[in-house]
Amino acid sequence: MTLSVGEVRNSIEQGGLRLPHHIAILLDGNGRWALHRGLTRPQGHRAGGETAKRCTRNCHALGIQALTLFGFSTENWNRPMEEVQTLIALLEEYLYDIAWELVENNVQLRLSGRIAQMPSRIHQAIDFALQKTAECTGMVLNLAINYGAKAEMVDSANAALVAREKGTNSFHLDQEDFRRFLYAPNLSFPDLLIRTSGEQRVSNFLLWQIEDAYYHITPTLWPDFDLQEIWQAILAFQHRCVQPPRESQPAEEG
């Protein structure tokens, strides 16, 4: 049975269910999805881009406050050059396509990762999408691009050292101080982590931020991830969640 957003919302409201504040998703399975259908890997990645748009719409409609999608990892550079170029081209196209829809839905775009190291061709698309959504105040869509959790921690440590040299930070760092130097310091930490394709590993994704997140692993390949999958993840979250949300972590500030 195909669910509608209205039906899911009604079930949430009638059941008094608590939504996760921030959902983070490891998008996996584009290549296998294409292989199973006799398609090319680029076609699988394109289908995955459409799923990312659909997932963003659904999460926004359900009232999720923040959504992080792992779009391009630092490890992706190790793939064949032709595939990397395809991923970059699709990401550029995706940013232009989704910007207007985000504005219509009052969704603000954020980026996490070593953005400066991305090819110059994509920076215009990044600037366009960020500028278009800068005044949006609703759900935050955080795209992890050229992202790796180990790289983030190294970059954060280096940023803290720079701040110390400038006299804006003390020599001693505690966890809250360190958080200020993360890529998205004002974004709440995920309380639900979803991985598609059945893989049971976190793949260098948000290692600092997911310490308290609940994991939901689905065998569904990313291009087939739909509203039903989100609903199942929310139900699993309800069954396993015993602690109230941390009020000290707003969805987004400023």
Catalytic site residues?
Answer: 28, 76
Nearest to 22 by CA among 192, 146, 201, 185: 192
HSE-up (13 A, CA, CB side) for residue 184: 30
User: What are the residue ranges of helices labelled H in the chain?
Assistant: 5-15, 30-36, 41-62, 81-104, 120-133, 149-165, 175-179, 227-240
Are 168 and 136 in contact, with CB atoms under 8 Å apart?
no
Rg of the Cα trace of the chain?
A: 18
Query: On the CB side of 102, how many CA atoms lie within 13 Å of its CA?
Result: 30
In angstroms, the CA 66 to CA 21 distance is 6
Integer CA distances (angstroms), 95 to 124, 129, 222, in order = 10, 6, 19
Please give the Cα distance from 127 to 129 (Å, whole number): 6
